[in-house]
């Protein structure tokens, strides 16, 4: 049996609430701490957790949450300083793993670690960096809605939406003729996620999760979406922390950019920093200006202003003017749920990405890495096969995988293969597994070394 973990979550906003929900659903003990009494009340009523009202940086409050026996502290309040102090207090009482969300770049060095000499934080999560990385990955995989990388970049999990004109409609998966080295691991339809069999038939606007070698997943994505080319002309709206990171990352890939920034000082900084981009000081909501600057001919339009409403508005305007693909950065969940239904191609939530990044550390005991997929479709977990775990040396057909889980790829000696029931995982292999939330615990057991008696 896997050991039940005791986790303390400081900050019960959207990110903290989401992490607490996932951990409590899996049977772990969870405490959440938040200053807002109403937030604590909601957490206590809706989740099987201990809810503590108070300052998460207070030693007294942390003691009320039984910090002394915690295995993990995750600090995700809106204050960097509170998050870091909470981690320091946790370390002083012996908590083995601490994770802090830190937004201010002045606290973090180029390697992603705290540069202030501050002790007590094991891992730092930077939402801005995660969002920029996601946009760049989406830009490089035509038609993708989400891209996750595993096994040092050898395995990709790509989410796409089936185009109504795609030739794959009405054909069973086993007859699709997908490129060798790629597998349809899950399909999201009508809010329900299915791990499909070979006789499953795709419908228009299904959201499909492809797993396999990086190059073959890109080819398969093109077959389902009709998008085949990496964008040549990109427009970025907003050049704050996220927008600048996106622009620099795309410039490194030799993509031509036009950047809009309404703040004169930031626009001047962008013009001095970016080498392959044209920077325009403008808010970007005047249709005549957008037409003049060629938004209608853009292969990709990214709205990253820091204002959810402005991002949604400009992305919709760009789509109406003819931009091929649009991405909007949307912080508030009440907006992100509907943005894609009204015309924006991809809505990226920094809060969801923060939760996903933190869960990589939460699962570090048995999992090499993890990703929470959009729309709560499931998780992708990466394991190293150990000699003493139940799957090692056995045909996958003989292993009782929980319903809703599938091994999407095996990596052995640097070679990626798509397994079937005859495949036998060996010690040292890397397995990339798609799993529905209800099956996570069962999957972890299969890859956990058996206890010795």
pLDDT digit string (tens) for the chain, length 453 residues: 356 789 999 999 888 998 898 888 878 899 999 999 999 999 999 999 999 999 988 888 988 888 889 999 999 999 999 999 999 999 888 889 999 998 887 887 766 667 666 678 888 888 888 899 999 999 999 899 999 999 999 999 999 999 999 999 999 999 998 988 999 999 999 889 999 999 999 999 999 999 999 889 999 999 999 888 889 999 999 999 899 999 999 999 999 899 999 999 999 999 999 998 999 999 989 999 999 999 999 999 999 998 999 999 999 999 999 999 999 999 876 677 688 888 899 999 887 788 777 777 776 556 888 888 876 788 899 999 999 899 999 999 999 999 999 999 999 998 999 999 999 999 999 999 999 988 888 898 899 887 654
Angle between helices 127-140 and 350-362 (to 10 degrees): 100
Cα dihedral value 296, 300, 306, 312, nearest 10:
60
Fold identical between 131-225 and 353-447? Answer: yes
Mode of pairing for the β-strands spanning 300-303 and 277-280: unpaired
Class level of CATH domain 238-348: alpha beta
Which distant-in-sequence residues (6+ apart) come within 8 Å of 202 by Cβ?
Answer: 162, 166, 168, 169, 171, 173, 187, 208, 224
The CATH architecture that domain 6-125 belongs to is 3-Layer(aba) Sandwich (3.40)
| 233 neighbors 277 (Cβ within 8 angstroms) | no
Q: Which of 145, 141, 128 is nearest to 327 (CA)?
A: 145
The pLDDT of residue 1: 39
The CATH architecture that domain 131-225 belongs to is 2-Layer Sandwich (3.30)
* Residue 150 to residue 210: CA distance in whole angstroms: 13
* Residue 237 to residue 290: CA distance in whole angstroms: 11
CATH 3.30.70.1450 assigned to 353-447 = yes
Q: Which of 40, 35, 96 is nearest to 68 (CA)?
A: 96
* Residue 327 to residue 316: CA distance in whole angstroms: 10
What's the predicted TM-score (pTM) here?
A: 0.83
Question: Domain residues of the chain, as ranges?
Answer: 6-125, 131-225, 238-348, 353-447
**Residue 137, SS3 per DSSP:** helix
């Amino acid at each position: 049996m896997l050991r039940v973990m005791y986790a303390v979550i400081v900050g019960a906003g959207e990110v903290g609430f989401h992490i607490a929900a996932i951990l409590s659903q899996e049977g772990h003990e969870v405490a959440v701490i938040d200053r807002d009494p109403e937030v604590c009340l909601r957490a206590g009523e809706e989740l099987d957790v201990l809810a503590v009202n108070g300052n998460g940086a207070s030693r007294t409050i942390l003691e009320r949450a039984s910090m002394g026996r915690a295995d993990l502290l995750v600090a995700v309040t809106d204050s960097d300083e509170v998050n870091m102090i909470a981690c320091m207090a946790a370390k002083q009482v012996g908590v083995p793993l601490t994770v802090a969300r830190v937004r201010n770049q002045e606290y973090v060095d180029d390697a992603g670690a705290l540069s202030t000499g501050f002790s007590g934080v094991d891992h730092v999560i930077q939402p801005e960096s995660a969002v920029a990385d996601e946009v760049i990955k989406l830009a490089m995989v035509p038609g993708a809605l989400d891209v996750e990388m595993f096994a040092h970049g050898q395995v990709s999990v790509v989410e796409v939406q089936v185009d109504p004109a795609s030739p794959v409609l009405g054909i069973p998966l086993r007859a699709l003729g997908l490129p060798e080295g790629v597998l349809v691991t899950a399909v999201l339809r009508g809010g329900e996620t299915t791990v499909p069999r070979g006789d499953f038939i795709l419908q228009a606007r299904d959201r499909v999760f492809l797993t396999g070698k990086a190059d073959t997943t890109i080819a398969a994505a093109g077959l389902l979406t009709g998008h085949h080319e990496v964008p040549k002309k990109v427009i970025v709206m907003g050049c704050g922390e996220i927008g600048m990171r996106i622009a620099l990352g795309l410039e490194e890939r030799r993509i031509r950019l036009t950047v809009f920034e309404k703040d004169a000082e930031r626009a001047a900084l962008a013009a001095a920093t970016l080498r392959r981009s044209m920077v325009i000081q403008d808010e970007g909501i005047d249709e005549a200006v957008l037409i003049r600057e060629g938004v209608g001919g853009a292969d990709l339009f990214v709205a990253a202003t820091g204002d959810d409403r402005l991002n949604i508005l400009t992305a919709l305007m760009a789509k109406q003017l003819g931009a091929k693909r649009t991405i909007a950065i949307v912080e508030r969940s009440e907006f992100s749920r509907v943005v894609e239904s009204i015309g924006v191609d991809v809505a990226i939530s920094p809060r969801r990405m923060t939760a996903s990044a933190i869960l990589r550390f939460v699962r570090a005991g048995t999992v090499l890495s993890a990703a929470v997929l959009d729309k709560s479709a499931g998780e992708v977990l990466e394991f190293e096969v150990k000699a003493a775990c139940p799957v090692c040396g056995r045909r996958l057909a003989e292993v009782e995988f929980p319903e809703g889980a599938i091994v999407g790829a095996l990596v052995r000696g640097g070679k990626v293969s798509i397994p079937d029931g005859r495949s036998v995982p060996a010690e040292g292999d890397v397995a990339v597994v798609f799993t529905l939330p209800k099956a996570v615990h069962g999957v972890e057991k299969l890859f956990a070394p058996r206890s010795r008696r």
